Structure 1
Amino acid sequence: MLDTGSLPAMARAQRSEVLDTWLAGLLDAAVARTPPPRPRRGGVGGGHQVRRGTDGVALVAVGSLGRRELPPHGDLDLVLVHEGRPEVAALADAIWYPVWDAGLRLDHSVRTVAEAVGVASTDVKAGLGLLDARFVAGDADLAATLRTATLASWRQSASRLLPQLRDLRRGRARQVGELAFLLEPHLKEAYGGLREGQVLRAVAAAQLADEPTTELEEAYAFLLDVRDELRRRSDRPNDVLVRQEQRPVAVALGLADEDALLRRVSLAGRRLAFVADETWRRAEAALVRRPRGRYRRVRREPLAEGVVRQGDEVVLARDAHPATDPGLVLRGAAAAARADLVLSPYTLKVLAVHSPPVPEPWPAEVRWSFLRLLASGRPAVALLEQLDQEGLLVRLLPEWERVRSLPQRDPWHRFTVDRHLVESAAAAAELTHDVDRPDLLLVGALLHDIGKGWPGDHSVVGEPVAAAIATRMGFSAPDVATVAAMVRHHLLLPDTATRRDIDDPATVDRIAATIGSDPALLQLLHALAQADGAATSSSAWSPWKAHLVAALVGRVLARLGGAPVPAPQPVLNPGAPQASTGCAGLPDGASDVTVGVEDVADGQQVTIVAPDRSGLFSELAGVLALNQLDVRAAKVNVVAGRATAVFAVRPRFGRAPVASILADTVRAAHEGTLPLADRLRQREVDYRQDAVRTVPPRISWYDGEVTGDAAGILEVRAGDRAGLLYGLTAALAAEGLDVTSARIETLGADAADHFYVANPSGEPIDAAQRQRVEAALVAAVCGAVADPASGRGDAPG
């Protein structure tokens, strides 16, 4: 690979030079100290040929040292090649032991040329390593013979070894992930990492692909620089770019900050992965054995004006005129996506060089092609990546450059911003039958996070950006306003559904007031929320969250249409239960409590009816946590002194809740025979994955959006653990606040809990009380458990 003039690159070159000189000296010393064996007696042909000096023996570097890419704390990969010298074992020991004595890790072997070629022809990893064989010391002609024989064997065995190499890389990609989209990428083994650069050279060595381009070599060299700087900062080898090392590595490489580093890493990884995908596609086609026979011309099938299908790719038609046809790029991409094909690399380069700018506003035919491309769904992802890699997408959408490979630090996001937008559009393509304006849904999905490329609230700053793009695309003024509103309010429905009580009329009024009297916009926002969630991650868009949003949309539609809003259901999930696990009462009338459990979508619903008392909600949350149930949502209604608490739960370890067990636990907690705080604290000790995180929680108040000064909405974001909900609600109860409803959401290792709280006396929640509540919540997140009766908290366990 092409080296650069960076400091890490110069350090690699110097490291290789120093090691080569030292290893050459070891070989010379070994030869000098190791006498050749005496010839046997017995006449002609009865003894060994006596070789002196380094004749017939060569020290060869393979792997990273062979490529002159050895990183700090890297392994030395050495092969001692010989032509049958009987003293070769002694020579090898005289070289290996000083290396070990120097504290270096060593991967070594001693082989003849025939032995090395035999191993390389059957072991794909060994063959890949020997392709990097580089002469260090000894017999240069022997080292050259090894390299020539290895290369010939690799080409001869390519049809058998390359599929194995492909499967190895795909297996590692499934385990480690894709470099471009990881917040803590493995620089070597993630797909698109350093290993891809080495594999591309191997495929080129098999004469099944071109040699890597300068652009690809520069991407590879940058990843080498990052890896070397990362290793230089550690006392042990580690190729995972962990978060705490990103800023110092960025500074050392002259980059602005960790986001700039991660973006450069992503761009390099995407380029390597893109070329690797195309290389494997072509290599696999070349390795297919076709029956012998007469030469048959490849059929060319017309797909659209100017493009035809040829084999498994789309190429330009003979009568195409890319220099005078501004719509050809999108027309060809749309045709390829509809046929589930890709554009040929040569066609992409021709289009990149010769395509003229698209007139502004876009002609209707160009806009139609773009919408047709987006409507193709999953096949559009590969085509948009092709356009992006050749710089064609940025020509169409200059604002796209701002979000290209832009990292998202939220752990529940799977992709960079630009890839997330493309994935959202692909998901939206599955929902076009659910809306009246599928064209606006597709464009809104592609642009909903475009504002993340600018400072500020991305929904706010993205609104004018999306409006400008939609105008350039040629949409009418009302359609431009709709796209802008979709970007501005794309989080409205999911945020409201998960933070607020959807049965509260104030919640419905707030949505209606925000979007106006347009049911079509509500319809588009609902579909956009689904597409956005599906493209984010499963933890960000669960069946339960989808149900909440759908229920909220139904209530808002009823309000917009003038029909009565559906009455609140007695359970959180109004759908019919799939099964019931029964209802248990507490015996002897001790507590007048009943517990019911129903199977609902994505978990169970637990309904507990009990006399109302201070701290009841917290007590019930603790009982559920003790029974290994994760709460996703909760609501409490109090009528005539009796509380009905409904919890949507998901078993943490797959065991559905049993009503009778829950009833017994509630009774014990109520009577004081079950010390909830102590039991939950012990459970955290037993389950280390539930250990308290030290990151401070984020606490927000939303009291201006509900009716009454005595009520408020409180948001707590903190590291998730067992018993967290119990601790938070106990802290609220200890500070004199009632919890009337809660929405609980887990996003990766974080919890986002939203509580409707109020003073029972009707007094406003003033600033002083807020400060006390916030302090109590921080203590609860750190492990302290408050006593609702006394208002005091226990020290963290």
Structure 2
Amino acid sequence: MTSTDTTKETEDSGPGGYAAARLRLLTEGARSGPPRRTALSGLTDDWLAGLFDAGAAGPRGVSLVAVGGYGRGELSPRSDLDLLLLHDGGDPAAVAALADRIWYPVWDLGLALDHSVRTPAEARRTAADDLKVQLGLLDARHLAGDLGLTAGLRTAVLADWRNQAPKRLPQLQELCAERAERQGELQYLLEPDLKEARGGLRDATALRAVAASWLADAPREGLADARRRLLDVRDALHLATGRATDRLALQEQDQVAAELGLLDADTLLRQVYEAARVISYASDVTWREVGRVLRSRAARPRLRALIGGGKPVPERSPLAEGVVEQDGEVVLARTARPERDPVLPLRAAAAAAQAGLPLSLHAVRRIAAAARPLPTPWPAEAREQLVTLLGSGRPTVEVWEALEAEGLITRLLPDWERVRCRPQRNAVHLWTVDRHLIETAVRASELTRRVHRPDLLLVAALLHDIGKGWPGDHSAAGEIIAKDVAARIGFDRDDVTVLATLVRHHLLLVETATRRDLDDPATVRSVAEAVGSQGTLELLHALTEADALATGPAAWSSWRASLVADLVKRVSAVLSGDVPEDPEATAPTAEQERLAVEAFRTGGPVLALRAQTDPPGEDEEEPSGEPEPLGVELLIAVPDQPGVLPVVAGVLAVHRLTVRTAELRAHDLPDPVDSSVLLLNWRVAAEYGSLPRADRLRADLVRALDGSLDIAGRLAERDAAYPRRRGVVAPPPRVTVAPAASRHATVIEVRAQDRPGLLHRIGRALEEAEVRVRSAHVSTLGANAVDAFYVTGHEGVPLPGEEAAAVARRLEEMLRG
């Protein structure tokens, strides 16, 4: 059907004809992207013009104007229609009747409508008071009626915008910053808002407004394609959901990817992130240019008065060989020759990061166009400049992004391409893989005084997740890549080995500290064998902290830091040969002995709650003068009997206490008592609010042990009320046996979605499997629980291989059910 045919059907059939033509257009598989948006805008233009002209001739001095996104011709399937009925102040009744003739058919079709009726003077006054209205009018487009009226408004609005630009553009920049603060950065979000987040469609529109002011302009390269890509994704999102939404929710990403013909949701997100980076970088450059122009205008009268006229020459301050500062940016010196100086890109970047200044767009593009590739291996200066760049702290991020925008990072480090804009489908992670690596380097720069080789720490931070672009275990793949990269950038053989070890084992300390029994000699010995030396251990400790801090708030805490520090201390002792090969188990403390005797005397559970704190280190100061709380230590003694673990875990869950670590062991009271008591040493924290009273905890423990408290029923009620996200399916639980993790027990590791009472269910399943739990090590990352249980048979020895595998299978089946 031609455009003329479509128009005729629309005119002949009215709203029904338009609706049918619109439906056919949206379901045509061959037409998508800009052609469909253009066709949908044209179809809507013709229909609205027909409504305007219907019946008798419309009043004179009236026009119908599309503004905002509709004015730009960017109609997505569920977009609002932004319309202005413009009139010269003539017959109010005739204008009102015309408005009804247009608005009501739009509403009847269920289309969202943002409408107004104004004279040109009213439109300009409203725009002067409301920046968003003024931005919408910048895209005003004539649809029907008095063309001269529309043209006059457009001319006046553009003149107002340009005259008011010194005042309006700072307001627009502030509006963009506030929106970014609320919505986050599109290029890193797992469920981004394509319109409102930083780097989204709103920012692309803001750049058009800046260009319309004639005060500054955005870098044009790639900007139109980035905007088109986000619009294409929004179109597919509207068709997939049937709703006017801009939020790309997790449960809809596969369907949107299929609508666009993409491989999967990760490919979709990567394309969205790439587009957002182009818009974000263009915004940064543009707003810097706006600020420079406005400062220059403000300073010009004063400068002319001082120097008696003439054009002032901007000052240039040297920063490094071939690199100078000019007007708040880092630019190349007039004598710089990037075609003859392969180290210049890194030298300029390092100088900019150290000075805390942005690299000018012109400088980066000149380098990208002319720079020669570095030889292999890199010269020492290049390696030193890379380390300087990585060690410059927070300014490193902006400088790195400038290099990335012009493709310089992948020229320096070709392996970077696989992690660039790669999403991480884990709610614990705040960033894409590449940004996480830079954030880790920023965090590592704060820890360089703790290690003897800060250069190795910073490079390991940059490379520790480089294997995430490859299939399989990213640590194993990363080790291979790190060896190649480290040799290429000029490290010697010993340093290459250390960097490869750091990348291979960057998760070793935190995983071992939170999931293994540190009193088990096999645990500490295995870490010592993997690390190999005190120097590598020191670097791995700092890398572990930097990695966790750069991941997100759920990945690091004083509690995790204390566990890792304890493990490092024990491993260091093994590496220095200061501990016996197989030390005896730690004897009960005096407090545990007292509780054990009291439990035997009363025949029931006794407990004590004690706050745990982390004293400041030698070089640390607590702002409040108080040590930071690590949680609460809960000591429990119970006469030996079956089912203690699930009962205690269930009671703690009922009282909304989160279990961080749990250790259980039998303690034989000395003669003449000759009885056994279970000692439980747990660390807990309240989900919210204050901790429960110890006497209430004990009372519920007594009732749970004698069967009068229905723990399962109470937890089922909590589970039913637990919030669930619509359409989000958690990955299935996984239970494995860790081979050779301990000589004294079998280690069963559980990975599952964290839920209230999870530890209670696991404990009950282990009791039903007739195994004894020696200790439990509980770790929660976001919505995922990773718990390790040291279990034995009733004889107190590890389970045979087949029996251990059977227990793991039964436990996994229970959790899946």
TM-score, L = length of structure 1: 0.89
Give the counterpart of 1:306 among 303, 322, 331: 322
Partner AA of 1:12 in structure 2: R
2:581 maps to 1:591: no
Give the counterpart of 2:445 among 422, 429, 432: 429
Q: Partners in 2 of 1:119 and 1:570 — Cα distance? A: 79
Partner AA of 1:294 in structure 2: L
Alignment check: 8 A CA contact 1:500 1:754 kept: yes
Q: Which residue of 2 aligns with 1:37?
A: none
Q: Partners in 2 of 1:749 and 1:592 — Cα distance? A: 32
Greater mean alpha carbon deviation, residues 232-241 or residues 506-515? 232-241
Alignment check: 8 A CA contact 1:693 1:719 kept: no
Q: Which residue of 1 aligns with 2:188?
A: 181
Q: Partners in 2 of 1:340 and 1:568 — Cα distance? A: 53
Q: Which residue of 2 aligns with 1:197?
A: 204
Partner AA of 2:696 in structure 1: I
Q: Which residue of 1 aligns with 2:33?
A: 8
Alignment check: 8 A CA contact 1:597 1:658 kept: no
Alignment check: 8 A CA contact 1:200 1:212 kept: no
Q: Partners in 2 of 1:318 and 1:567 — Cα distance? A: 71
Q: Within 5 A, what are the aligned runs for 1:19-168? A: 19-29=44-54, 32=57, 53=58, 55-86=60-91, 87-168=94-175
2:432 maps to 1:416: yes
2:755 maps to 1:721: yes
Q: Partners in 2 of 1:472 and 1:71 — Cα distance? A: 48
Q: Partners in 2 of 1:433 and 1:299 — Cα distance? A: 36
Shift of 1:443: 0.5
Alignment check: 8 A CA contact 1:31 1:91 kept: no
Alignment check: 8 A CA contact 1:585 1:595 kept: no
Q: Which residue of 1 aligns with 2:302?
A: 293
Alignment check: 8 A CA contact 2:734 2:812 kept: no
Q: Partners in 2 of 1:231 and 1:385 — Cα distance? A: 31
Alignment check: 8 A CA contact 1:80 1:111 kept: yes
Shift of 1:504: 0.9
Greater mean alpha carbon deviation, residues 648-657 or residues 362-371? 648-657
Q: Which residue of 2 aligns with 1:542?
A: 557
Give the counterpart of 2:376 among 360, 363, 367: 360
Shift of 1:635: 1.0
1:734-754 deviation line (CA, Å, top 9, x unaligned): 111222222222222222222
Alignment check: 8 A CA contact 2:599 2:639 kept: no
Q: Which residue of 1 aligns with 2:702?
A: 667
Shift of 1:347: 0.9
1:474-501 deviation line (CA, Å, top 9, x unaligned): 1111111111111111111111112111
Partner AA of 2:298 in structure 1: R
Q: Partners in 1 of 2:31 and 2:230 — Cα distance? A: 12
Q: Partners in 1 of 2:804 and 2:487 — Cα distance? A: 49
Q: Which residue of 1 aligns with 2:779?
A: 745
1:658-688 deviation line (CA, Å, top 9, x unaligned): 3222222222222333222222222334554
Alignment check: 8 A CA contact 2:240 2:259 kept: no
Q: Within 5 A, what are the aligned runs for 1:513-532? A: 513-516=529-532, 518-532=533-547
Partner AA of 1:59 in structure 2: L
Give the counterpart of 1:371 among 384, 387, 390: 387
Give the counterpart of 1:489 among 477, 482, 505: 505
Q: Which residue of 1 aligns with 2:577?
A: 562
Q: Partners in 1 of 2:161 and 2:631 — Cα distance? A: 54
Shift of 1:440: 0.6
Shift of 1:774: 3.2
Alignment check: 8 A CA contact 1:30 1:95 kept: no
Do the aligned partners of residues 395 and 624 (structure 1) sit closer, same or farther apart at CA in structure 2, a change above 3 Å counting? same
Give the counterpart of 1:754 among 775, 780, 788: 788
Q: Which residue of 2 aligns with 1:465?
A: 481
1:531-569 deviation line (CA, Å, top 9, x unaligned): 111111111122211211111010000000011279877
Partner AA of 1:338 in structure 2: Q
Shift of 1:689: 6.0
Q: Partners in 1 of 2:334 and 2:553 — Cα distance? A: 46
Q: Partners in 2 of 1:200 and 1:298 — Cα distance? A: 26
Q: Partners in 2 of 1:30 and 1:301 — Cα distance? A: 72
Q: Partners in 1 of 2:809 and 2:192 — Cα distance? A: 36
Q: Partners in 2 of 1:233 and 1:571 — Cα distance? A: 62
Do the aligned partners of residues 621 and 584 (structure 1) sit closer, same or farther apart at CA in structure 2, a change above 3 Å counting? farther
Q: Partners in 1 of 2:400 and 2:719 — Cα distance? A: 47
3-state SS of paired residue (2:554):
coil
Shift of 1:145: 1.1
Give the counterpart of 1:611 among 625, 633, 639: 639
Structure 2 gaps of 5+ residues are 1-29, 305-311, 590-594, 614-628, 669-675
Partner AA of 1:430 in structure 2: E
Q: Which residue of 2 aligns with 1:240?
A: 247
Q: Partners in 2 of 1:480 and 1:552 — Cα distance? A: 25
Runs of 4+ in 1 over 4 A off after TM superposition: 565-572, 582-588, 686-695
Partner AA of 2:547 in structure 1: D
Q: Partners in 1 of 2:443 and 2:218 — Cα distance? A: 36
Shift of 1:177: 1.6
Alignment check: 8 A CA contact 2:180 2:197 kept: yes
Q: Partners in 1 of 2:239 and 2:461 — Cα distance? A: 43
Q: Which residue of 2 aligns with 1:623?
A: 651
Q: Partners in 2 of 1:592 and 1:746 — Cα distance? A: 28
Shift of 1:23: 0.6
Q: Partners in 2 of 1:76 and 1:520 — Cα distance? A: 65
2:719 maps to 1:701: no
Give the counterpart of 1:637 among 661, 665, 668: 665
Partner AA of 2:224 in structure 1: E
Alignment check: 8 A CA contact 2:747 2:791 kept: yes
Greater mean alpha carbon deviation, residues 610-619 or residues 10-19? 610-619
Alignment check: 8 A CA contact 1:759 1:765 kept: no
1:374-424 deviation line (CA, Å, top 9, x unaligned): 110111111111111111111111111111101111221111111111111
Q: Which residue of 2 aligns with 1:683?
A: 718
3-state SS of paired residue (2:788):
strand
Q: Partners in 1 of 2:466 and 2:611 — Cα distance? A: 42
Q: Which residue of 2 aligns with 1:575?
A: none
Partner AA of 1:658 in structure 2: R
Shift of 1:9: 1.8
Q: Which residue of 2 aligns with 1:712?
A: 746
Partner AA of 2:54 in structure 1: A
Shift of 1:233: 1.6
Q: Partners in 1 of 2:730 and 2:411 — Cα distance? A: 46
Structure 1 gaps of 5+ residues are 33-52, 573-581, 783-797
Greater mean alpha carbon deviation, residues 412-421 or residues 764-773? 764-773
Shift of 1:585: 7.1
Partner AA of 1:474 in structure 2: G
Do the aligned partners of residues 454 and 300 (structure 1) sit closer, same or farther apart at CA in structure 2, a change above 3 Å counting? same
Q: Partners in 2 of 1:690 and 1:353 — Cα distance? A: 48
Q: Which residue of 1 aligns with 2:767?
A: 733
Greater mean alpha carbon deviation, residues 209-218 or residues 66-75? 209-218
Shift of 1:612: 2.1
Partner AA of 2:562 in structure 1: H
Count of aligned pairs between the two proteins: 747
Shift of 1:55: 3.7
Q: Partners in 2 of 1:484 and 1:590 — Cα distance? A: 56
Q: Which residue of 1 aligns with 2:271?
A: 264
